[in-house]
Amino acid sequence: MRSIPRRSALALCAAWMTFAACKDPYPTPRFSGAGATSERRGGTLRVAFDTDLRTLDPAQAYDELSTAVVHHLNDTLVDYEPNTGAIVPQLAERYELSTDQRTYTFVLRPNLVFSDGTPLDSRAFVRSFERMLNPRKVPCPGTSFYHLIDGADAFAEGNAQHITGVTTPDARTIVIRLSQPDQTFLNAMAMSFTSPVPVDYVERVGNDEFARNPIGIGPFVLERWEMGSRVVIRRNPRYWNPQRPLLDKIVYELSLARHLQFMRFQRADLDHANDYALTTADYLSLNAQPAWAPYIHRAAEMAMYGVAINCELPPFDNANVRRAISFAIDRDAIARSRNYRIRPLGGIYPPGLPGYDAHLPGAHEYDPERARRELREGGYPNGLPGEHELWLTEGPGAAVYGQLFQADLARVGIRIRLKFASFPVFLEMTQRRRAVAMSFTGWNMDFPDPSNFVDTLFHSRNATEEHAQNQSFYRNPALDALLDRARVEPDRARRLSMYQEAERIVVRDAPWAFMFAPQKIEVDQPYVHRGDHSPVYPHDLRNAWMDLPLRPFVAGARR
């Protein structure tokens, strides 16, 4: 028998490797569940993030990943009902609001204990609350949500030993009195900053150690945190709700680059892939595989993106010019550039947010003729003279959005120069008065209330010299007055209609060119059931369960 020449053997080997490398090794999921139709306990769910975990101290966590993990280790007095988004008691058994709308009374559930067995009563809660609001004890990034509490400012400035507006008539009752009514106060109390922590333990080990080895009162406890690598949390056997959680453990893989996450997910090394794991190529390949279709979940994200236009800098102090910019943008082309992972938006509020108006009068849309007319009416019949800067920073698609924006505006006679900056420089410059003409930016909600968008971004109190959240430096006394009235309005329907009126004012004056609202796209393995999840915490796995044991996946089989 003739032997195959060595060169031919090498060529054959290379051809086989090339062929194998071109064929997708995972066109379908690898495993499906056992076929259970109701919730089951047990299992370890593995998820990944491309960032590193910063802290597990609820008073300090404000970034997406830290908040996601902290949310599982802690509870708050009140939380959001998954389906309706209504605020419901959590650690509090019940709560009441006084008739003057200024005093909240929370009654704790009986026999609450932290994961180490330390009991939680009203005094322990208030000690934890005061720790969070004391800037000399812990650098909490969210104290401003609570400054309407009587005596909170004096306490923060070191002029009082305790917050006068927070009292504990008995071991289970906490009374919080505000200096003026605030309809978003319960939202603020649902934020994880207020999660109680065992202060004696914190003071014994120090903030830094506590941030690494926390003790909480939530459904999970920390098992281990390998810095930069993974965090493992397991079920808290002392949790007040014996029905939850259903999972035994959650493993968070940290700092796992996006391009690796989806590879791992397809190989079933991860059980859930969130939006960040899906690069454009991954997303398209996933959509092209019918076997994955039932396991892809799409939902509106409570965020809004657009171009903030500096109303203090000419020629952008002219509302016609600002409207011309906004009406020149082809939002559908922008959505297409991201394979419709974003939805065009013509106003402030994203779909799904209370107050969202699908038929918003005067909503910004693509209308180049209107843009040219606005320029003419604004005194620029031949387009804007000169070239104007649009600041951008890192983020998915930012460069593409910038280029599309540039091309759209060129068509109506506005020349744009794109300026890219690192995130710290971008923030510093765009939040400084009279520094930047236009910036591509966005807002991600702290809580599902229109005030968190319109008040934060357009109230003149937030147009500060530096670090301004009102990045367009838009000032309108009529809008300010309306927002101040809406903040204290007790009737929900009336309040929402006031916020809709506020949106119409802002859309008319166009301090922003509103562009799009992102869609959250996630994919689970067939054996993972997410259950009802929080409308606020994007990575909520409190009700998730796994249909174990796993079986090899069969296309077309029942989930």
Q: By the 8 A CB rule, do 343 and 335 touch?
A: yes
Least separation in angstroms between residue 227's CB and other proteins is 5
Which of residues 441 and 534 has its CB atom nearest to other proteins in the complex? Answer: 441
Which of residues 77 and 133 has its CB atom nearest to other proteins in the complex? Answer: 133
Least separation in angstroms between residue 429's CB and other proteins is 9
Least separation in angstroms between residue 286's CB and other proteins is 15
Which residues, 38 to 77, sit near other proteins by CB under 8 A? 51-52, 54-55, 57, 60, 62-63
Give CA torsion, residues 357, 361, 364, 365, to 10 deg: 100
CA–CA dist 408, 430 (Å, integer): 22
Which residues, 236 to 255, sit near other proteins by CB under 8 A? 253-255
Sign of the four-CA dihedral 360, 361, 362, 367: positive
Piece in contact with other proteins (CB under 8 A), picked from 75-83, 136-144, 346-354, 360-368 = 136-144
Q: By the 8 A CB rule, do 532 and 83 touch?
A: yes
Which of residues 175 and 263 has its CB atom nearest to other proteins in the complex? Answer: 263
Tell me which of 79, 374, 446, 503 binds other proteins, using CB under 8 A. Answer: 446
Q: Is 7 in the site for other proteins (CB under 8 A)?
A: no
Tell me which of 96, 208, 223, 389 binds other proteins, using CB under 8 A. Answer: 208
For 194-263, give the secondary structure using H, E and C: HCCCCHHHHHHHCHHHHHHCCCCCCCEEEEEEECCCEEEEEECCCCCCCCCCCCCEEEEECCCCHHHHHH
Least separation in angstroms between residue 173's CB and other proteins is 29
Q: Is 424 in the site for other proteins (CB under 8 A)?
A: yes
Which of residues 357 and 446 has its CB atom nearest to other proteins in the complex? Answer: 446
Q: Is 552 in the site for other proteins (CB under 8 A)?
A: no
Q: By the 8 A CB rule, do 315 and 522 touch?
A: no
Piece in contact with other proteins (CB under 8 A), picked from 204-212, 241-249, 345-353, 484-492 = 204-212
Instruction: Count the Cβ atoms, other than its own, within 10 Å of residue 192.
Output: 25
Least separation in angstroms between residue 532's CB and other proteins is 26
Q: How many CA atoms lie within 13 A of 383 on its CB side?
A: 15
CA–CA dist 194, 126 (Å, integer): 10
In sequence order, the β-bridge partners of residue 391 are 419, 439
Least separation in angstroms between residue 109's CB and other proteins is 30
Least separation in angstroms between residue 269's CB and other proteins is 7
Give CA torsion, residues 55, 58, 59, 64, to 10 deg: 60
Of residues 282, 274, 334, the one with CA closest to residue 298: 274
Would you give the binding string for other proteins spanning residues 261-300, x where CB under 8 A is met? --xx--x-x-------------------------------
Which residues, 209 to 228, sit near other proteins by CB under 8 A? 211-212, 226-228
Burial of 260 (0-12, 13-18, 19+ CB in 10 A): middle
Q: By the 8 A CB rule, do 175 and 104 touch?
A: yes
Of residues 40, 173, 28, the one with CA closest to residue 96: 173
Q: Is 141 in the site for other proteins (CB under 8 A)?
A: yes
Tell me which of 469, 475, 504, 548 binds other proteins, using CB under 8 A. Answer: 469
For 171-187, give the secondary structure using H, E and C: CCEEEEEECCCCCCHHH
Instruction: Count the Cβ atoms, other than its own, within 10 Å of residue 221.
Output: 21
Which of residues 175 and 468 has its CB atom nearest to other proteins in the complex? Answer: 468
Residues in the interface with other proteins (CB under 8 A) total 59
Q: Which residues contact 420 (CB under 8 A, 6 or more apart)?
A: 391, 392, 393, 399
Which of residues 144 and 241 has its CB atom nearest to other proteins in the complex? Answer: 144
CA–CA dist 11, 15 (Å, integer): 6
CA–CA dist 84, 532 (Å, integer): 11
Which residues, 393 to 422, sit near other proteins by CB under 8 A? 422
Q: Is 152 in the site for other proteins (CB under 8 A)?
A: no
Least separation in angstroms between residue 132's CB and other proteins is 12
**Which residues contribute to the site for other proteins (CB under 8 A)?**
17, 20-21, 25, 51-52, 54-55, 57, 60, 62-63, 135-136, 139-144, 147, 156, 207-208, 211-212, 226-230, 253-257, 259-260, 263-264, 267, 269, 422-425, 427-428, 431, 441, 443-444, 446, 462, 464, 466-469
